[in-house]
Amino acid sequence: MRARVLVRPKQGILDPQGVAVERALPALGFEGVSDVRIGRLVELEIDDPAQLEAISSSLLANPLVEDFEIELLEDAPSA
């Protein structure tokens, strides 16, 4: 089973990466962008999707400072 785990900084926690990107945009001529938040996208193949919750909370995300969402995808198409 193909799955996707989206990890993002918790609300209220300063995200310096997001700030850096937000401040770079006007230099490229893009105005009106605010509240940029940067997370991580982890895509993986897993035999037992029931393990995803534990995998996410123990390694992929640090639940103290990050939230995560698990998304199950269709099986990867064969090459």
Partner 1 sequence: MKTGILRFPGSCDEVDAQLAAQLVGEAVLLWHGDRDLQDVDAVIVPGGFSYGDYLRAGAIARFSPVMESVIEFARDGGLVLGICNGFQVLCEAGLLPGALLPNANRRFTFRQVELEVVEADTAFTSACPAGELLSIPAKHGSGRYYADEATLDQLEESGQVVVRYRPDQNFNGSLREIAGVRNTAGNVFGLMPHPEHAVDALTGSTDGLRIFESMRAAVEGAHV
Binding site for partner 1 (CB under 8 A): 13-17, 19-20, 40, 59-60, 62, 64-65
Query: Could you tell me the smallest distance in angstroms from the CB atom of residue 22 to partner 1?
Result: 11
The answer to whether the CB of 18 falls within 8 A of the CB of 37 is yes
Chain centroid, CA 56 distance in Å: 11
- Which CB sits closer to partner 1, 35 or 75? 35
Measured CA to CA, the distance from residue 17 to residue 41 in angstroms comes to 15
Query: Could you tell me the smallest distance in angstroms from the CB atom of residue 74 to partner 1?
Result: 26
- Which CB sits closer to partner 1, 12 or 29? 12
Measured CA to CA, the distance from residue 22 to residue 36 in angstroms comes to 6
